[in-house]
Amino acid sequence: MVFCVVTDGKVSETESLPECDIAVFGFSGLGEVDFERELKGETEKFEEVARLSKACGCGLLCGCKTLSRGVTRKSLAVSDKGKLLGISDMNHVIDGEEYKSGASLGFYKVGGCKVGLCIENDLLFPDAIKSLSMCGCNVIVAVLEEVRDNLPPLLVRAYSYLYGVPIIMCAGKTAYFADISGAIATSTQKNALFEVSPQSRYHLVTVRRRGICADAREDY
């Protein structure tokens, strides 16, 4: 599968994309989206996402900041060939940040591929990545506003190796791709293309532990 990471561009100003299966926009793709204004028809930002994915015949994941009754969340809008599949939110808010946390993991079937979502702070919590891997996703897409240090590239490289899932990351104006071998590639091109080969490699892991007696008891 071919992923196109749009590192600099807005959905409303994008008329075409390179040939790809799934395109990923950062948080500048939609900006702020007010759910109330969307429902009233005053704005059509989610519709713009669906229209672009239909016009380009691909899946589309776009970062945005969603506003609902005064509560702001960091989110990803997901569309596949013209159909809006859903909106998923960042689940981890750290040290009194202005955002509200979501309540579930983002997991979608886009373009025939099982895609797990990782939004901003979620990258710092390995349980989220491990859970997406155990759910059987073929690839994980992480979207961050920017890369402030070397930690995010290091984490996506480690996670993809440890949990056996390729990771695509859009962070500011830089795109990253880490495969399950631990290799990582970066690009600052406006439309960065990465070819991903989903693989399902499983290994038998045996662990010896104390406790957890399997003997039957009559007093349970």
Tell me the pLDDT tens digit for each residue of 53-110.
999 999 999 999 999 988 999 999 999 999 999 999 999 999 888 999 988 899 999 9
The SS3 call for residue 141 is strand
Segment 161-210, tens digit of pLDDT: 999 999 999 998 999 999 999 899 999 999 999 998 877 777 888 888 88
pLDDT, residue 207, reads 85
- pTM of the entire predicted model: 0.90
- What phi, psi does 27 have (nearest 5°)? -70, -15
Q: Is the distance from CB of 22 to CB of 55 less than 8 angstroms?
A: no
Q: What does the DSSP 8-state code read for residue 139?
A: E
- Chain centre distance of CA 176: 13
Q: What does the DSSP 8-state code read for residue 100?
A: P
Q: Is the distance from CB of 29 to CB of 9 less than 8 angstroms?
A: yes
pLDDT, residue 220, reads 63
What is the overall mean pLDDT for the chain? 91
